[in-house]
């Protein structure tokens, strides 16, 4: 038995990804430095990210509800005309 989780293969670029994790601390980086972002430490957040054709990552949405993340990812996929299916890296994980 193994504790290694097998992630799905990455689709061809560009694609949209749903990821998530527990926030421990957050800093928004700007040209002149970082600014603390007021999140509740210990909360689970979901992130919807566009992985562009050149590999650049662009944050599109974040929130605390998984169903909202799925809806937002699909809406962005249609709006941005991304042909690849959404890569959901948190499906099946306990939240």
pLDDT in tens, 25-59: 766 665 665 555 666 677 888 999 999 988 889 99
Domains contained in the chain, number? 1
4 within a domain of the structure (yes/no)? no
33 within a domain of the structure (yes/no)? yes
CB 72 within 8 A of CB 59: no
93 within a domain of the structure (yes/no)? no
- Report which DSSP code applies to 53: T
Residue 39: per-residue pLDDT: 61
1 within a domain of the structure (yes/no)? no
27 within a domain of the structure (yes/no)? yes
Residue range of the domain that includes 37:
15-85
C-alpha dihedral over 16, 17, 18, 21, to 10 degrees? -140
pTM of the complete model: 0.73
């Amino acid at each position: 038995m193994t504790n290694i989780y097998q992630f799905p293969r990455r689709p061809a670029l560009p694609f949209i990804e749903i990821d998530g994790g527990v926030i421990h601390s957050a800093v928004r980086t700007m040209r002149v430095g970082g600014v603390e972002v007021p999140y509740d430490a210990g909360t689970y957040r979901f992130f919807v990210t566009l992985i562009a054709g050149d590999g650049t990552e662009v944050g599109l949405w974040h929130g605390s509800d998984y169903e909202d993340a799925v809806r937002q990812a699909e809406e962005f996929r249609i709006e941005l005309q991304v042909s690849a299916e959404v890569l959901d890296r948190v499906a099946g994980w306990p939240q």
